[in-house]
Structure 1
Amino acid sequence: MELKQVEKISKALSDINRLKILQYMQKNQGKVECTQACNLLHLAQPSISHHIKKLVEADLIRQHKVGRNYNYSLNHEVWDNYKRSLEKL
């Protein structure tokens, strides 16, 4: 993984709410729905969307449209590569 991508992911992880989303996903088979994230963080839906957007832009999570809603899944490949890259620093 290139250092630029490590930087982008690190910036996405620099917020406690995004870390909580990822932590929840790790415990929930790598998945989360927007409503679950709202309940978890006690934030309004627009705030959740902002945090999820940052994680999607960093390629840490993928979004899947189901009807009118979105479900999100952890991108295990990127997450594992990121952790390995940090170990090599």
Structure 2
Amino acid sequence: MTAKEFERISKALGDPHRLKILQEIKKNKCMACACIREMIDLAQPSVSHHLKQLIDAGLVIAEKEGREMRYSIDDKVFTDYINYLSTFAQ
């Protein structure tokens, strides 16, 4: 993981709404945008903005299913992030 990737992920994780979105997706394995919007009580444009930030950081994977997008967590990116972060604790 590069320092730039680490920075992008850290910024994405720095927002409480994005953390809540990640928690809901992780808990449900995979979610549609409408379901996420209902769970965190934000307007659809705000949810889309936060999802874009999470996708751009590599934390969330978007897959088209029929007419809607479904979102899931990219566990490998989280593992790489934690491993990179752990180098600061040694």
TM-score, normalization: structure 2?
A: 0.91
When Rg is computed on C-alpha atoms for both structures, the one with the higher figure is 2
1:47 corresponds to 2:46: yes
State the aligned residue count: 88
Cα deviation for residue 19 of structure 1 reads 0.2
CA deviation string 1:5-41 (max 9, x = no partner) = 1000001111101000111122223x22111110111
Q: What are structure 2's unaligned runs of at least 5 residues?
A: none
CA deviation string 1:26-67 (max 9, x = no partner) = 2223x2211111011111111100000000000111111112
Q: Percent of aligned pairs with the same residue?
A: 43
Which residue identity does 1:76 align to in structure 2? D
What SS does structure 2 have at the residue aligned with 1:43?
A: coil
Matching residue of 2:7: 7
Runs of 4+ in 1 over 6 A off after TM superposition: none
TM-score, normalization: structure 1?
A: 0.92
Which residue identity does 1:80 align to in structure 2? T
What SS does structure 1 have at the residue aligned with 2:70?
A: strand
Which residue identity does 2:69 align to in structure 1? Y
What SS does structure 2 have at the residue aligned with 1:59?
A: coil
